[in-house]
Amino acid sequence: MHQGDAVQYVGDGFGAVLLVWPGYDHPFGHNIAKAMLPGQLLIYEGEIRGCCADDAFFDYLDDSSVWEHRADLSNELNAFHVTFSSVHDRWKVYRKVFNGAT
């Protein structure tokens, strides 16, 4: 899988980053999250702790000193999300509050 240069551009003035199924067997999702700046929103779609991102990505998002989970926005997106019986994708929205060195 080719990652391109996306990681180096994440902090260049974007208000939000949309991340869909970043992949389980490489650190792309984690690298994107680390490169984001305080105030930016991360809008993630995929399984939670499933096959959609590596564990380091989810561990990083679980750090409440770095990320604020925006349950209001997550719930609003999920209210209109089409689901299928064997797919457990959900929307989760986070706001980066601290540029931790994790």
Domain assignment present for residue 60? The answer is yes
More confident residue, 97 or 9: 97
Domain of 68 in residue numbering reads as 14-96
Q: Residue 102: its pLDDT value, please? A: 47
Domain assignment present for residue 25? The answer is yes
d(CA 60, CA 55): 9
Domain assignment present for residue 5? The answer is no
Domain assignment present for residue 62? The answer is yes
Domain assignment present for residue 50? The answer is yes
Number of domains in the chain: 1
d(CA 31, CA 8): 9
How long, in residues, is the chain? 102
Domain assignment present for residue 20? The answer is yes
Reported as a single tens digit per residue, the pLDDT across 42-97 is 999 988 877 788 889 999 999 999 999 999 999 999 998 777 766 678 899 999 99
Domain assignment present for residue 43? The answer is yes
